[in-house]
DNA sequence: CCAGATATGTAGTGTTCACTACAGATGTGG
DNA sequence: CCACATCTGTAGTGAACACTACATATCTGG
């Protein structure tokens, strides 16, 4: 039985606002004052709902990966390994320069290096990135079984590669690269996957 | 004429220590206390020599890029565009997992996203990364003129691509990827450059 | 050996940070 | 309508932060 005064804010929309603050300023750069203002609540509500700043970040990351998961499912639904890579990297070029969001990727902008006391924030982000990589790897394993990738191809290495390019594009986006520049990177990057693809006879 | 008490520490070795702290914790995660302890000096000496925390970062970045510049010169001295890419990315796989340094690249770990008041730190890092990219681009322009790259190849796009992969590898290294994993990424990445190379007849 | 200049170590400064005590508000179960 | 549980806003808390005042130490030029 749930009693007491009901909360007056929607946790998901509040998380969307928090996500944006972390995305733009990073975990350490984001202050509770900025977060609460963006979320439209006061500190006690934040702490009652999310525990502490790191709990809020994790909740925001969960929401981010959940939203992205839908898109990733579309990515790996492409019919060939090459098309998976293209759909992924071209999609990233779009998303990371979408003016509706801060530039780059939350899983990178959130915090690559942190100070004493926040050491596990980078690991938290890395774990989420690894999920994407695993999804790609599984897809490439299947592509190899399908004969879509060469016998010599290493699905895990390919997944790591595509993941690395995606991260690199995120950093470029956050430092001002425009959509066309990212598309060019994606275009070149796809050619490496193409080189690992079996010849279509 | 230089008068007054001479400084008792060596600015370059002190900078090396500061570099390591920024590298490991990022700009915002690094505290003056950590920096002064690593440098073996007291705050007033730091401020007298470098102005403020951001000044120290810039000095550390200058030193970092200077040291790296020597290596980059060797990279672009490779005889083909493909070998330039390979030498660069394989070298990065080594350097970013060198136990003598923190993992990853200072130009990424330093701070991709920062809080209010440090907004130009990410730009500062981006500017240094752009220098590397420019050096690569110039080399690829020459490679195209040499007929080493295809007529359809875009040197600027290739340079952006290699730069993006390097950044992505840095992030992977900082989150625990080992040398072999990075080598695999480099190996795949080089194939895209190979695909842009003219056929050797 | 003295005057001026710069460096150093001690011991702070004000500010901002993440976080919370508390009182009042608003719900549920009986 | 009352006991109780949970949320909310105000107004702070101690700690950590970047940075510095000041007295002292060590140099150069004359």
Q: What is the pLDDT of residues A112-158, one digit of tens each?
A: 999 999 999 999 999 999 999 999 999 999 999 999 999 999 999 99
Measure the CA–CA gap between B159 and A47, rounded to whole angstroms.
Answer: 46
Architecture of the domain delimited by B62-195: Orthogonal Bundle (1.10)
Nearest to B164 among A165, A191, A196 (CB): A165
Tell whether the model's pLDDT for residue B81 goes beyond 70.
yes
Scan residues 71-100 of B and list those with Cβ closer than 8 Å to A: none
Confidence category of residue A201, pLDDT binned at 50, 70, 90: low
Residue nearest to nucleotide C17 (CA to C1'): A31
Give the mean pLDDT of A66-93. Answer: 98
As a rounded value in angstroms, the CA-to-C1' distance for A50 and C19 is 13
Q: Where are the domains of chain A?
A: 65-195
Please name every residue paired with B197 in a beta bridge, in sequence order, or none if there are none: B149
Strand C atom within 7 Å of A52 CB: yes
Give the mean pLDDT of B91-105. Answer: 98
Strand C atom within 7 Å of B201 CB: no
CATH 3.40.50.2300 fits A65-195, yes or no: no
pLDDT for A104 equals: 98
pLDDT for A199 equals: 84
Dihedral sign computed on CA atoms, order A44, A50, A54, A60? negative
Tell whether the model's pLDDT for residue B201 goes beyond 70.
no
Measure the CA–CA gap between B139 and B142, rounded to whole angstroms.
Answer: 5
Tell whether the model's pLDDT for residue B2 goes beyond 70.
no
Q: How far is the first Cα of chain B from the last one, in angstroms, to the nearest whole number?
A: 65
Tell me, yes or no, if B63 comes closer than 8 A to chain A by beta carbon.
Answer: no
Q: How is chain B classified by DSSP, letter by letter?
A: ---SPPPSS-HHHHHHHHHHHHHHHHHHH--HHHHHHHHTS-HHHHHHHHSSHHHHHHHHHHHHHHHHHHHHHHHHTSSSHHHHHHHHHHHHHHHTT-TTS-SS-HHHHT-SS--TT-THHHHHHHHHHHHHHHHHHHHHHHHHHTTSB-TT--HHHHHHHHHHHHHHHHHHHHTT--HHHHHHHHHHHHHHHHHTBPP--
pLDDT for B166 equals: 98
Identify from B168, B176, B189 which residue to disrupt to test chain A contact, counting A C-beta atoms within 10 A and taking the largest count: B168
Chain A residue with the nearest C-alpha to that of B186: A161
- Check residue A7 and report its DSSP letter: P
Scan residues 115-134 of B and list those with Cβ closer than 8 Å to A: 115-116, 118, 122-123, 125-126, 129
Tell whether the model's pLDDT for residue B161 goes beyond 80.
yes
pLDDT for A2 equals: 63
pLDDT for B3 equals: 82
Give nearest nucleotide to B27 (CA–C1'): D18
pLDDT for B1 equals: 61
Strand C atom within 7 Å of B9 CB: yes
Assigned token pair, B196: 């842009």
As a rounded value in angstroms, the CA-to-C1' distance for B53 and C4 is 30
Arithmetic mean of pLDDT over chain A: 97
Give the mean pLDDT of B110-119. Answer: 97
What Å distances lie between residue A166 and A17, A67, A68, A86, A162, CA to CA?
Answer: 24, 17, 14, 11, 6
Residue nearest to nucleotide D9 (CA to C1'): A42
pLDDT for A1 equals: 60
Give the mean pLDDT of A61-66. Answer: 98
């Amino acid at each position: 039985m749930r009693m007491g005064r009901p909360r007056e804010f929607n946790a998901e929309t509040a998380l969307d606002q928090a996500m944006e603050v972390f995305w733009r300023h990073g975990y350490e750069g984001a202050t509770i004052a900025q977060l609460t203002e963006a979320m439209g609540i006061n500190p006690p509500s934040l702490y009652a709902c999310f525990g502490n700043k790191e709990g809020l970040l994790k909740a925001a990351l969960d929401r981010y990966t959940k939203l992205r998961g839908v898109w990733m499912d579309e990515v790996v639904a492409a019919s060939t390994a090459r098309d998976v890579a293209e759909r992924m990297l071209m999609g990233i070029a779009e998303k990371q320069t979408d003016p509706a969001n801060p530039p780059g990727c939350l899983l990178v902008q959130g915090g690559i290096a942190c100070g004493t006391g926040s050491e596990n924030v980078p690991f938290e982000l890395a774990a989420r990135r690894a999920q994407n990589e695993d999804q790609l790897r599984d897809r490439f394993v299947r592509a190899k079984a399908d004969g879509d990738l060469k016998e010599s191809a290493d699905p895990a290495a390919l997944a790591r590669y595509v993941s690395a390019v995606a991260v690199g594009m995120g950093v470029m986006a956050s430092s001002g690269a425009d959509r066309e520049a990212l598309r060019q990177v994606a275009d070149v990057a796809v050619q490496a996957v193409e080189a690992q693809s079996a010849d279509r006879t």
